[in-house]
Amino acid sequence: MAPTSIPPAPDVPGAEHVHSGKVRDLYRLTEGPYAGHLLMVASDRISAFDFMLEPAIPGKGTILTRMSLWWFEQLVDLVPAHVVSLDVPAGLEGRAVVCEPLEMLPVECVARGYLTGSGLLEYDADGTVCGIDLPAGLVDGSRLEQPIFTPATKAELGDHDENVSFEAVVETVGRATAETLRELTLAVYARAEAMARARGIILADTKLEFGRRPDGTIVLADEVLTPDSSRFWPATEWQPGRTQPSYDKQIVRNWLLSPASGWDKDSGTAPPVLPAEVVERTRERYAEAGRLLTGESY
């Protein structure tokens, strides 16, 4: 399968397909009380290193949807959410939501409380992240004195998001909107970081997406604070100076990079099929994150 190949979206009665990403399929409802609204369906698909993988992770879409809905409720006093209804077409219960059609703002809004990932690469190169100067001597997993807003461009499928400065966001959406996005992103991170920490989990960073209603109201959209959009680390295992264990698809990445997979990610060839054990351990990791954060059974 090619690096950017996504399976065709299934037909949904009363809806027309609009777009598919690596995980979600988006439709516009054409019938019923919510005609004109959008239907967002979370699949069980999983990707790594820009390849779509086989098989999917059973129940992953349901876990992501339930976690997002739980977090939307925790954040409602900070920012409205795009969810309108859970009355979705038959067969999509638990993994789909009806949501508002919004003008999506072309910015990946990222808050970082810890240094890792692309932020660490930029810091190692010039001591900054998105133009923000950071103290010397930080390592992978270091906690920052204050969380920072590190926006990125929204990349096309198969490309990587590119970190940009705050001024680049100003040029894209205007200063007032950019300042609102920064304020909301850091407020959401602060709330979620404190809640996660109380549950024994470190929220290292998170990526948010926002849209705008016709009246100008900024709305939190897409998914929020799931293992696909955030780095969650077990607090008891946090140790700066190394790659942290995480509640996401790290198990999949580790296997693909191991001799057991027999695959070279730079070869241009498609990855091998994931073993059943890797699939099950990944599902358990997602479910564990949901259980620890929300207190619900997954």
Reading the chain (298 residues) residue by residue, the pLDDT tens digits are 444 578 899 999 999 999 999 999 999 999 999 999 999 999 999 999 889 999 999 999 999 999 999 999 999 999 999 999 999 999 999 999 999 999 999 999 999 999 999 999 999 999 999 999 999 999 999 999 999 999 998 765 555 678 999 999 999 999 999 999 999 999 999 999 999 999 999 999 999 999 999 999 999 999 999 999 999 999 999 999 999 999 999 999 999 999 999 999 888 899 999 999 999 999 999 999 999 999 999 8
Contact 114, 204 (CB under 8 A): yes
State the Cα–Cα distance between residues 201 and 283, nearest whole angstrom. 18
User: Fold match between 15-99 and 103-249?
Assistant: no
- Which CATH fold would you assign to the domain 15-99? Phosphorylase Kinase; domain 1 (3.30.200)
| pLDDT recorded at residue 5 | 77
pLDDT at residue 298 in the model: 86
Q: Which CATH architecture group holds 103-249?
A: 2-Layer Sandwich (3.30)
Question: pLDDT value at position 154?
Answer: 75
Alpha-carbon dihedral 155, 159, 160, 162, rounded to 10 degrees: -50
Neighbouring residues of 264: CB distance < 8 A, sequence distance ≥ 6 = none
Check if the beta carbon of residue 285 is closer than 8 Å to that of residue 63: no
pLDDT of residue 268: 84
State how far the alpha carbon of 187 is from the alpha carbons of 79, 104, 112, 182, 234, in Å: 9, 20, 12, 8, 22
Tokens of 206: 């998170």
pLDDT at position 160 = 64
| Domain residue extents for the chain | 15-99, 103-249
Q: What local confidence, expressed as pLDDT, does residue 90 receive?
A: 95
- Please give the radius of gyration of the chain, using alpha carbons only, rounded to the nearest integer: 19
Cα–Cα distance, 166 to 97 (Å, whole number): 32
Helical spans, DSSP H, in the chain: 60-74, 117-126, 166-173, 175-198, 250-257, 276-294
Q: What is the pLDDT of residue 4?
A: 53
Distance CA 255, CA 88 (A): 36
Nearest Cα neighbor of 227 from 29, 66, 12 is 66
